[in-house]
Structure 1
Amino acid sequence: MLTDRLLIQVDASRVGFVRDQLDPTLSGLVISGPKALRKASELRNDDYAGVLIADPAFYEDGVATAREPYLSRTDELPAADPLGQAVQEQLAVGATAALTPTGYLRAGDTAAVRAAVREVSAREDPRIVLTLPIDVGWLRGDLVGRLIEELGVAPGMKAVMLGGQLDPLASFPESLTGLAQVLAQVPRTALLRADLAAFGALARGAVFAGYGLSGRFRHVVPPGEPAKSSGFADSPAVLFPELMALFLGKTLARRFAATHAPVCECAACGRRPLDSFPTNRDVRPAAQHNTAVLMSWQRTLQTMAIGPDRQRWWQERCRAAVNRYPLVNAAIRQPNGFKVQPQLLRWSLLDAAPSAPACAGPD
């Protein structure tokens, strides 16, 4: 049921923002955080029949080690079998699949990765997804080869989450190439807690992917580090479809103050201008807009054959967006009004591979 889906990753309080915008055949929900299990149970009791994952997100609070790759709740005594307990709890509330309670995987800690793989392999349960909250440093140099080697023996599905501040894939130039290597060489790998990379991953053969509704769910902040911010967010992040990037609603209102803003015709907006989300009172409609646009992209992606055709389509779409920036800036007479984000530029330059693995069949 998870195969080739774009899931929306959200906390329990905002599920209602996006539930009605999801395409039930192509999408689903990942609910993250301490209230994930309770909200998942409520949804099932409310007859929600879609794909649903409850992510306890223990990796936000602790680091995986070779002795303890899996974690228990920080407010409880350590469980004798944290993996078994987490799987049982998630499946009991109706989750489509269960994520392992893996701690944060520091770059280069091969022993911790190996321990997580060994323990989940012994379960032989196809409903378990090996969660891999890896520091983005794993995608650098020879570390990516070591990661691929360790994950190559893991059965079932694997869900990578990238750790780092702000946009981890903007941390160093080879990060995107490293991610593409993992997706190409480790069968049945997914990408969760992502942004634009969710689509890039699906284009590169990911078994499924998750797009974070808010910045918190588009990457993993390493445990013990305060989350860095690009600025005080007093308005929601709004997806500008032509530029394939998120901008604060107040930024869009300011940039288009002297001209007409582009009109969005997504399923949620109904010809609503993009500059009409200026304050945090607009969080719900902005979330609905973002989700509706993502669903339209997902439907288009699904018309492409898995492999080079899909990769070329994604690269061409990213290139078109990069080329659109100077045109939009010229129209608003602000040469540096909108700046191309590093990750978008890197996707536009990442050529299609000669071949890509087909997604595995439904579990």
Structure 2
Amino acid sequence: MIDPSAPLPRPPSDLAEPPDAPQALAGALGVLQGRMLLHVTPARVGYLRGQLDAGRSGLVLCGKDALRKARTLRGEEQFAGPLLVDPAVYETHVASGEEPFPHAAEDTFAFDDPLEVSLAEQRAVGVTAPVTPTGYLHAEDSDALKAAVRRVAALADARVVFAAPIDVGWLREEDAVRQLIACLRLVPGPKAIMLGGQMDPLARHPRAVDHLRRVLGQVPGAALLRTDLAAFGALAAGASFTAFGAGSRLRHIVAPGERAETSKGFATSPHVLFPELMHFFLGKTLADRFAGTAAPVCHCAACAGTWALNMFPHNADGRPRQAAAHNVAVLMEWLRTLTALAPVLARQRWWHERCRAAVDRYPLLNAQLRQPDAFKAPAQLKRWALAAPPTAPHTANGQAQADDQRRR
């Protein structure tokens, strides 16, 4: 439950005041600043590594053999980019006030400290920074959150990334958001927020997107990992860095003990990013929708004008590999555009305008296809389209008021 005695953060800035630029990460972690990494299983690294933007991206390895793959990347494959390993203990274990970092490894002794063991294993394979093996943080379980925060704060090591795998219920109510911010601000290093919930967590609560932006804006070093297109919204809102899930399973967390809900036909064809609509669709769905007309041809770096969006109807003939390369190539194009803009306000405006244009495109495309329900804009995209950035004051008096508010 929420603890009403928890310290509260400072009030948010005046909405008329442009947001501050994100606080830069210190020391060796500065290499992560402003990047959008790819959250990926070791088996799929080869699918997408060729499309990575070396100056703007990197890798977060997750799943079986992640440590071994990290060692191989740093050694035999000479991968010099930002590299994290996500222990993903939250997939199978829940955090508690007594055990925020649960024993999850079968090859360790009961008296071993899971936190210390995991951090040491990650450092040994050459990661940019170790990530804490935090258990799943159920909504409003302040005891578990505070226990995890206390342990990491006691390390007094700003080179450790604190994984905060929170149920999206933390972003539902004002009181929970304020306590989340207050607790995360006590951690000296980066805070890697990951959202839990079925299908699309940010679509579950009306104010989840606004509350997420608030957390990212008020917690120095806050990042958003294991997510979907919210990675761009987070970067625009001032996140230190983000990580996009290179696979639907890695774009959110399913709470331990719950069975993941999936779309129909999930295993029949790869997920393909439709750039105009800013959403992923099954390749078979795209092939069906464009059965009677020419599908858009993609000119991303991977497709090079030779692949159309209806050419991924099944998982045979290397289609999953090509679809993954297409998805990452499009994401890297967007990332280059976003990071070319000045933080934070210009990026927020770009992201907002792009989301609005995508939402407006759905009914137009359906009309062209003569299929009224061919494509439906996802709820999260609609919420980002409604999340307008703050308006900067344009008059001298307005600027003076903003300067005065900043000094307070």
Which TM class, normalised by the smaller chain length? over 0.9
Write out aligned runs for 1:7-156 (5 A). 7-45=37-75, 46-76=77-107, 77-78=109-110, 80-141=112-173, 142-156=175-189
Residue type at the aligned position of 1:150: C
Task: State how far apart, in whole Å, the 2-side matches of 1:300 and 1:353 are.
Answer: 21
> What are the superposed Cα offsets for residues 202-245 of structure 1, whole Å, 9 maximum, x if unpaired?
00000000110111100000001111112231100000000000
Note the C-alpha offset of 1:111.
Answer: 1.4
Task: State how far apart, in whole Å, the 1-side matches of 2:198 and 2:128 are.
Answer: 30
Residue type at the aligned position of 1:208: F
- From 382, 385, 399, give the equivalent of 1:348: 385
**Between Structure 1 and Structure 2, how many residues are aligned?**
355
Question: Corresponding residue for 2:273?
Answer: 239
Task: State how far apart, in whole Å, the 1-side matches of 2:111 and 2:239 are.
Answer: 32
Note the C-alpha offset of 1:339.
Answer: 0.4
Residue type at the aligned position of 2:180: L
- SS of the residue corresponding to residue 227 of structure 1 reads coil
The answer to whether the Cα contact below 8 Å between 2:123 and 2:130 also exists between their aligned partners in 1 is yes
**1:275 has 2:310 as partner:** yes
Question: Corresponding residue for 2:351?
Answer: 314
Task: State how far apart, in whole Å, the 2-side matches of 1:74 and 1:136 are.
Answer: 26
The answer to whether the Cα contact below 8 Å between 2:84 and 2:130 also exists between their aligned partners in 1 is yes
**Structure ID, larger Rg:** 2
The answer to whether the Cα contact below 8 Å between 1:72 and 1:79 also exists between their aligned partners in 2 is no
**1:187 has 2:220 as partner:** yes
Note the C-alpha offset of 1:129.
Answer: 0.3
Note the C-alpha offset of 1:124.
Answer: 2.1
Write out aligned runs for 1:285-300 (5 A). 285-300=322-337
Note the C-alpha offset of 1:354.
Answer: 5.5
- From 193, 196, 217, give the equivalent of 2:250: 217
- SS of the residue corresponding to residue 255 of structure 2 reads coil
Residue type at the aligned position of 2:299: E
Residue type at the aligned position of 1:340: A
- SS of the residue corresponding to residue 43 of structure 2 reads helix
> What are the superposed Cα offsets for residues 11-41 of structure 1, whole Å, 9 maximum, x if unpaired?
1110100011101100001110131101111
Question: Corresponding residue for 2:397?
Answer: none
Structure 1 stretches of 4+ with a deviation exceeding 6 A read none
Note the C-alpha offset of 1:54.
Answer: 1.0
Question: Corresponding residue for 1:163?
Answer: 196
Note the C-alpha offset of 1:79.
Answer: 5.1
> What are the superposed Cα offsets for residues 316-351 of structure 1, whole Å, 9 maximum, x if unpaired?
000011111111111211111010000000000001
Note the C-alpha offset of 1:280.
Answer: 1.4
Task: State how far apart, in whole Å, the 2-side matches of 1:144 and 1:280 are.
Answer: 42
Residue type at the aligned position of 2:152: V
Note the C-alpha offset of 1:123.
Answer: 1.4
The answer to whether the Cα contact below 8 Å between 2:181 and 2:215 also exists between their aligned partners in 1 is yes
The answer to whether the Cα contact below 8 Å between 2:278 and 2:358 also exists between their aligned partners in 1 is yes
The answer to whether the Cα contact below 8 Å between 2:237 and 2:344 also exists between their aligned partners in 1 is yes
Task: State how far apart, in whole Å, the 2-side matches of 1:219 and 1:238 are.
Answer: 17
Q: List runs of 5+ in structure 2 lacking aligned partners.
A: 1-30, 393-408
> What are the superposed Cα offsets for residues 268-323 of structure 1, whole Å, 9 maximum, x if unpaired?
00111111111112110000000000000000001111111111110000001111
Note the C-alpha offset of 1:71.
Answer: 2.3
- SS of the residue corresponding to residue 207 of structure 1 reads coil
> What are the superposed Cα offsets for residues 144-185 of structure 1, whole Å, 9 maximum, x if unpaired?
111111112211100000001110011111111111111111
For normalisation by structure 2, the TM-score amounts to: 0.85
The answer to whether the Cα contact below 8 Å between 2:338 and 2:347 also exists between their aligned partners in 1 is yes
Question: Corresponding residue for 2:233?
Answer: 200
The answer to whether the Cα contact below 8 Å between 1:34 and 1:57 also exists between their aligned partners in 2 is no
The answer to whether the Cα contact below 8 Å between 1:69 and 1:115 also exists between their aligned partners in 2 is yes
Question: Corresponding residue for 1:325?
Answer: 362
The answer to whether the Cα contact below 8 Å between 1:61 and 1:74 also exists between their aligned partners in 2 is no
For normalisation by structure 1, the TM-score amounts to: 0.96
> What are the superposed Cα offsets for residues 98-121 of structure 1, whole Å, 9 maximum, x if unpaired?
110000001111111111111111
C-alpha RMSD over aligned residues: 1.1
Note the C-alpha offset of 1:189.
Answer: 0.3
Question: Corresponding residue for 2:341?
Answer: 304
Note the C-alpha offset of 1:84.
Answer: 1.3
Residue type at the aligned position of 2:134: T
Task: State how far apart, in whole Å, the 2-side matches of 1:266 and 1:330 are.
Answer: 26
The answer to whether the Cα contact below 8 Å between 1:131 and 1:160 also exists between their aligned partners in 2 is yes
Relative distance call for 1:238 and 1:79 in structure 2 (3 A) is farther
Task: State how far apart, in whole Å, the 2-side matches of 1:100 and 1:4 are.
Answer: 21
